[in-house]
Structures are given as structure tokens and as C-alpha cells.
Structure 1
Amino acid sequence: MGGRSGSVLVLTNPFDVTADVVLRALAERRVPVVRLDPGTDLHAGASLTAAYRTGGRRGILRTADRDLDLLAVRSVWVRRASPYEGPSELGGQERRFAASQALWGAGGILASLPAAHYVNHPWANRAAENKPAQLAAAQRFGFPVPDTVITNSADEAREFVAAQDFGAVYKPLWNTPYAVDGRPHAVWVREVDPADITGAVSACPHLFQAKVPKAFDVRVTAVGDRLFGVRIDSPDLDWRRRQDRMACTPIDVPEQVARPIAAYLAELRLVYGAFDFAVTASGAWYFLECNPNGQWAWQPAETTDAIAHALADQLQKGP
């Protein structure tokens, strides 16, 4: 496949094995790649400079082994970079100040490369991670959506949950880091009963959703106009909880689902999206969510390989 000159800039942490799959594909094509974890590398010898003046600009990223002209970057893959937390040798407000300046400074530079193709642009990613916005977009484009209420009223929540014929579930609005006794603890989608709902709901908005009487789940990974569907059969309500117990098989994506996926991606300015659906016995595909930066390398080998090459195509071609 042809493509323009210039490097691909990959923003991710050093332990991202999913990124490695795509980087191998780019290496086979002899596409130059620079990998950067700005939240940590800029405290470990790397430097980033951008200069702006009337009629021109320049930008340079210097790492241990090369200098990268930021104006010549063909594509930026925004993967799983570490958060901007500031240098570890600082403490208190100094570290918080440094972290916020890095987010708005380095993050702003890397999000503003004029000739680059972003997969996805970080600002589009952040907007598309908002679950209320996801549900609103899904409605606009004709996806069936489970009845949902987001509320901090315990009375509203109880009334909603009690009215659902097939039961209801609770899911977090954001995957906030959470620990129990100092150990990381995942908050999974779980069934909820009206009696479970207490006044503690008033502390923040909670998302409650009608339970879909599903026959199976489907993950559709979208890369540009290419769709990769996988049927997921799991004994768990939330298949992510015990992935060793689920079975995945490729599945065709029907046209009535493919069309709104394309519209959704265009509306939210996404090149990549990981769509989750609950499919009923009658064949209705209920939209659950779209993770604009979802993992995909856990899928069957042929699907994982196809997604990796589709991403490599996007990054190689540039804008």
C-alpha cells in the first residue's frame, strides 16, 4: 500500500502489547514509527518544543535516539499513554502544577499537529467517552437503546428499576480507579433490585438501564469504513469480568447496524470505535456503548490480525 513520507507517532505506555501488534505490521511495511509516552518520557530525557510566529511554526520532539520534526508527522495513534502526573521528585502543589501544565502544554502540542491524521484525535476521544453523549448519538442514528435513567435521586432510581419487565442493571458512568483495602477493584455491570438502592445514590449521578433479554453479545470494531464483528457467548452479564469463560466467533454485521455505525463515527469525528451490542433472540441489536479507544487484541486471531492491518493502513496513509 502506498503512503506519504513522514513518521507515525504512537502515544502509549511501554507495556501496551496491543500497540506492539500494529507496530510490527508498520515495521514490515518499513513505515518509520516514533513511540512516546509523554506523561513519563518527558521526565526521562525526552524534550518537546513548539514555536509559533506570524506566517509560520515549527516543532521538534527529541528522544534518546532521534529528532522528530512534528510538522512532518503523517499520523498520530492515540493509544494508552500514561496520565500526566508530574515528576515523581516533586510533591504537593508543585507536582500538581507541573502535571496540569504538561497536560495543557505537551498535550496541546501533540493534539495540534497540522498535517497529521489522528486515530483518534484526543479531544474527539474524550468527548466520545461520555456515556450520555453516546446514548444520545445512538438514538439519533436509529440504534435500539435500552431504557436508561441517569439520576442522583433514589426515588427516581427505585421507580425506574421496579418498572423493568426483565430487570435492571447498574453500570458506572466512567471507569474511575477504585480500590478496596488498598487493592484495585473493578466495578462491573451488575443487576440491581429496587431494595438495593439507598440514599447513597444522592452522592453522584448513577446510570441504571433496563436489562436486555439477550441471546448473546457482539463487539463490532470499526476502523474507518471497515467493520469487524465478533459474537460473544458468556455465562456472565458483563463478559469482560471472566474472559476465560467466554467464546468468541466472527459474525457478519448487518446493514441496518453498519449504516448507523458509519453515521455515529462521522458525527463524533472518530476513525476507530469499539461498539458493544446486546442481541436478542429476535435479532434486535441493542446499542450498549462505544469505547473510542477500546481494546481489541483479545479477539480471535484472524480478527485481531485483520484489525491490526486495518489500523496500520490508516496510520500509513496519513491524512
Structure 2
Amino acid sequence: MANSNTASPAMCIDTHIHFWELKRFPYRWPDEGAPDIMRRDILPSDYALDVRDTPMKNAIFVQVLNKNHPENEWVFELAKTNKWIVGVVGWVDLTDPNVESILKNAAQNPLFLGVRHLLAFENSEWIGREDVQNGLKALEKLNLTYDLTLLPPLLHWAAELPPKFPNLTFIIDHIAQPYIKDHITDGWKEGIVAAAKHPNVFIKLSELVTSAGPDWTAADIKPYVEHVVKHFGAKRCMYGSDYPIFKMVGATYTDVYQLLIECLKDCTTAEEREGIFGQNAVDIYKIKVPLNK
């Protein structure tokens, strides 16, 4: 468990949370093989309870389902009574010939910030396909964002795609899920350096304890965070909890929040930490709705 005496940021935005209602949609995960703690409905009321001991007052929902437009609308409805949901990174079929009009329709809701597609359910070349990249062009044209879900072997896409779409904001989720538990950095370290060379690539400091496993420690995780901050710079980094996935390794929300403060204290200033936990998300995702302070 992380411990820190560093002051908490004044305004916080969690850029990566999930909800699901298992009987509502055909989820590929959590499935029957998922841990019991994940095989239950996860709703805004659960999140609100779990963050009560932190200053977290705003959050961005990130898609759980590929090939499921109704999930976007479901979260838009949840946000009507949970005003702390200040953004949605949803799912849209990037391969649809009418993708631009579909995105325009989604973006009529000011909560809609961009798109994610879970690459774990596709082959390694999916994002390089012409029809997918036509969708990326539409995102770029409409000033929306694209979240990249990359394991280290796919991190090369975070360096190859940005030059093709220089005005599209790419956001690497979970610092590309390095193998912290196994202490393997080969490939990941170099991939981070290569991705960071492109100014339209940003990164979430998220899913850290899950990558480190149930015996996680701040000492194990800190070098990974410092490597990311060194190459991306603090202004291109954002905090994300990856709620509720961290519960699989026995962590609480407070653990996750305090862990990142601990990992950042030697490589960032107080002002930079304020950005990582708040203002950077506003600037990168272009959040359009009022924030809770």
C-alpha cells in the first residue's frame, strides 16, 4: 500500500473508469472466467462510494464493449443524474462507410470526447487496416480523440500512427500495460521513448497496480511512472484509476490514488501534479461540460 504526505491536488479528474450492468449488454469481459469481484454490476453509486476518501469529483467513462453503440447512450443517461461524469470515451464503428456522420451524431452530446476500440479482441494488424484508418481520419477532422489500448508488443503503433494523423489526439491507456509483475522492460521502455517523440500522443498513468500484481509496491511501480514522465513530460500525462479493475489485486481506490502521488513526488513539481490530476485532462480531452470542484 502506498503512503504519502504529499498534499493532494486541488481539482481532480479520473480519466479512466468503467461501469457495467451484466444483464444489459453481451459483455465479452467480465465473463465466467473473470474473478468473482468483477462478476457483478458496477454502477456510478459504487464508484461514488469508493472515492469518498479522496478529493475525486469528476470522472471520464471509457468504453467496455466493442460493437455496441447503445453503451454510449446508456452512459449519457447515467450522467444526467451523476453530474460528476464529465466525459465519455465511447465506441463507434470506425470501419463504417458513414463513420463521419455517426461521429457527428454522437458528438451532439457534449459528453462525447472520443473513441476507443479494445484491440485485445482483434488481430495485431487491425488498427493498420485502411477502413479503420478512414475512421481515424474522421476523428481527426471532427477534433475528437482516440484511446489506444496497447500491450508492449503493439506499442509501435503509438509511434507509427501519429505522423499519419498529426492533428488527431492519441491517448495511450495504462502506460501500455508494461509487465511490471515480471520486471520486464525490454521493448516497453524503447516504445515509450518512440511514442513520446510525437507531440499529438498523450498517456494515462493508469492500471499500475493491476500490471504489478497482487504483491504490488510503490517501489516496483515508481520507475515505470518516472520513465513515462521523463519522456512525455508532465503536461502530456493524466491520472486514471481504471476503476474497478484494480480490485482484482486487492487494491482500494485510495490505494491507487495515493500510489500515483507517491510515484510522482520525486519527478514532478506540485504544479505539475495539479495538471496530471486535473487540468491536463481538460486540455487533452477538451472537456466541454462544467467541472465539479
TM-score range, shorter chain: 0.3 to 0.5
The higher radius of gyration belongs to 1
Q: Compare relative contact order (CA 8 Å, sep 6+) and give the higher one, 1 or 2.
A: 2
Q: Which has the higher helix share?
A: 2
With the length of structure 1 as denominator, give the TM-score of the two structures.
0.31
Q: Which has the higher strand share?
A: 1
With the length of structure 2 as denominator, give the TM-score of the two structures.
0.33
